[in-house]
Amino acid sequence: MIDVYYLKEKTVCFSGHRPEKLPFGGDSSAEITRVLKSLLYDEILKSIHNGYNTFVTGLANGFDTWAAEIIIELKGNGYDIRLVSASPYENHGLGFNGAERWARARIIENSDEFVNVSKNYDKNCMKRRNEYMVNRSSKLIAMVSDYKSGTGQTIRYAKSQGLELKIFNLNNILEADTNQLTFIL
């Protein structure tokens, strides 16, 4: 395992659900998806303005991909920030479909650092990847609806490690009137 160097105090990691657990399967044309991405974009900008300059993605489809794409966009707009990609194991992503595989390759290509946390897949490699990210960060941005998930486990671990937490609870957001959220867009 390669260990990259960056300042924990200025590092944010992400955790969230894969598309199948996101509203409308994470469909980018759905209004709620645009609202959720807007909330994430706003929180990333707040983090940058508060001195965070390194962002760690776990390279999962869904929320992790959204976060990485926002970081890539902001880097392209001149923000002096870094993207670190933490893959759970060496062959992660081989089973992704064409669009998912393309997005993963684009994220890795635009990353400042890349690490395979484990050599091979095993039942604990995702958990190790999540702990790797948390252990090198001082803030977690997460989007969750099911706390009995890897994201819920990551949130609990980050809380136990004293990280600053920004949690978007999808259950609360989906109960709110979408029209009340559009002012964020």
Q: How far apart are CA 59 and CA 129, in angstroms?
A: 10
At residue 5, the pLDDT reads 60
Helix 125-135 and helix 150-160, axial crossing angle in degrees, nearest 10 = 30
Residue 106: pLDDT over 50: yes
At residue 67, the pLDDT reads 97
At residue 180, the pLDDT reads 53
Query: What is the arithmetic mean of pLDDT over 17-38?
Result: 80
Q: Which residues of 62-80 are buried (b: 16+ CB within 10 A; e: fewer)?
A: bbbbbbbbbbbebbeeeee
CATH architecture assigned to 8-184: 3-Layer(aba) Sandwich (3.40)
At residue 182, the pLDDT reads 44
Neighbours of 121 (CB within 10 A): 14
Residue 69: pLDDT over 90: yes
Domain ranges of the chain: 8-184
At residue 145, the pLDDT reads 84
Which tens digits make up the pLDDT trace of 133-175? Answer: 999 999 999 998 888 899 999 999 999 999 999 999 988 877 6
Q: What is the pTM of this model?
A: 0.89
Band of residue 177 on the pLDDT scale cut at 50, 70, 90: very low
